[in-house]
Amino acid sequence: LNRQLILVKRPTGVPADDCFALVDGPQPEPAEGEFVIRNAFASMDPAMRGWLDDAPSYLPPVALGQAIRATTVGEVVRSQSPKFPVRSWVLGLNSLSQFSLAHEATGWTSVIDGGGKVPLTNYLSVLGTTGLTAYFGLLDIGCPKPGETVLVSGAAGAVGSIAGQIAKIKGCRVVGIAGGPGKTARLINDFGFDAAVDYKGKSASELRKAITAVAPKGIDVVFENVGGACLEAALGALNTFGRIVLCGMISEYNTPVHERVGTRHLLQLIVKSARMQGFTFNIYASRVHDALAEIAPWVAAGRIRFDEHIEEGLDRALPAFHRLFNGTNTGKMILLID
Ligand SMILES: NC(=O)c1ccc[n+]([C@@H]2O[C@H](COP(=O)([O-])OP(=O)(O)OC[C@H]3O[C@@H](n4cnc5c(N)ncnc54)[C@H](OP(=O)(O)O)[C@@H]3O)[C@@H](O)[C@H]2O)c1
């Protein structure tokens, strides 16, 4: 059988348990060009929330009755594709299920080294989407120069902690925003940030004052993961010709579109001759190899520290997902499926 977590009802706000069901379906059988993956680990991503809405996005919505989409690493167990032979390990966009059916032509799946040189989970964290998002967003869009000040929100999280450490490697002064004294201490002690600000209990203007207090010369690059008050505060602290990398806006993902308040202070982009640009990591697919050639040695040399938070079992998928929104994940949120 194939146990899978399916969407039975579209959520409004924070996804409730009754929007999902664990069901046992038949094992998929591969047709020509297809292969079956036994999923070992799944990446739990904030973006999964958007895929549950029936709204236009960079990927189609998950259909009702369909398994929840997720990036996984797994082993090919049946194959009708010479490119993905049985016993090869693969990384790809699959689903929260024990087995996934994939086609060689979609371009989403790549073969990885399952030989144990690198822990499999690293392909979902520092050597996967997480590390690549931090790398491309910061360097390609943020264009940080040595000596500049970089502000990272969601800084103690998976993408944010890596973005901040890459900014340090590139010779920048780095300020992080995170929730609570435990996380702000980690930013400085474990991830080498120069300063940290706790956003909890602060309005946007209080947050801007707190940022300016630790970055008196202002902010040149913002790596934005949160949106809302964090983005408004960053806009206020931005220097002339500043760059805002719009990576994520997690504070808004559970708010229905018509209830979102929007971002005040966008006028600052004009006043500061500044730029704000969003991106999704997959636009950089052709450059992944080169990026990993730079990231992997940083990791091996201990210049990038990263954490993985692993929750065990498909029945733990929802609690694991909620951690991303209540801040109780410590590092890249990963689900052990098998
Ligand atoms: N553009 C892309 O291609 C791409 C790819 C991957 C991820 N992302 C984005 O990157 C961001 C981080 O993702 P991740 O996977 O690395 O997750 P993560 O940062 O490891 O976990 C999410 C963190 O966000 C913080 N958070 C949640 N709700 C918040 C709120 N209302 N206000 C302030 N902070 C809040 C929490 O930390 P605190 O305890 O500090 O609140 C939580 O730990 C997300 O916005 C995600 O959508 C974008």
Contact 177, 151 (CB under 8 A): yes
> Could you give phi then psi for residue 80, rounded to 5 degrees?
-125, 30
Q: Tell me the pLDDT band of 184, cut-offs 50, 70 and 90.
A: very high
For ligand 1, mutation pick of 44, 127, 151, 159 (most atoms within 8 Å of CB): 159
From the CB of 144, is ligand 1 less than 6 Å away?
no
The residue behind tokens 């780095």 is: 174
Ligand 1 centre to CA of 321 (Å) is 11
Ligand 1 centre to CA of 204 (Å) is 18
DSSP 291: H
186 has a pLDDT exceeding 80: yes
Ligand 1 centre to CA of 167 (Å) is 18
Q: Which helix (H) or strand (E) holds 238?
A: strand 238-246
> Could you give phi then psi for residue 74, rounded to 5 degrees?
-165, 180
Ligand 1 centre to CA of 324 (Å) is 7
Nearest to 98 by CA among 118, 123, 119, 77: 77
From the CB of 248, is ligand 1 less than 6 Å away?
yes
* This model's pTM is above 0.75: yes
Residue 108 has a pLDDT of 81
What is the share, in percent, of the chain residues with pLDDT greater than 70? 100
- Which residues, 6 or more positions from 70, have their beta carbon under 8 angstroms from its beta carbon? 42, 43, 44, 45, 48, 93, 94, 95, 96, 335
Ligand 1 centre to CA of 246 (Å) is 12
For ligand 1, mutation pick of 165, 184, 225 (most atoms within 8 Å of CB): 225
Q: pLDDT tens for residues 218-262?
A: 999 999 999 999 999 999 999 999 999 999 999 999 999 889 888
Give the HSE-up count for residue 337: Cα atoms under 13 Å, Cβ half-sphere: 28
For ligand 1, mutation pick of 324, 328, 332 (most atoms within 8 Å of CB): 324
Q: pLDDT tens for residues 16-56?
A: 999 999 999 999 999 999 999 999 999 999 999 999 999 98
Residue 251 has a pLDDT of 97
Nearest to 252 by CA among 56, 14, 45: 14
Residue 199 has a pLDDT of 98
The residue behind tokens 């690293």 is: 122
Torsion of CA 233, 234, 236, 238, to 10 degrees: 170
Q: What is the DSSP string of 136-205?
A: HIIIIII---TT-EEEEESTTSHHHHHHHHHHHHTT-EEEEEESSHHHHHHHHHTT--SEEEE-TT--HH
Q: pLDDT tens for residues 269-314?
A: 999 999 999 999 999 999 999 999 999 999 999 999 999 999 999 9
Residue 84 has a pLDDT of 97
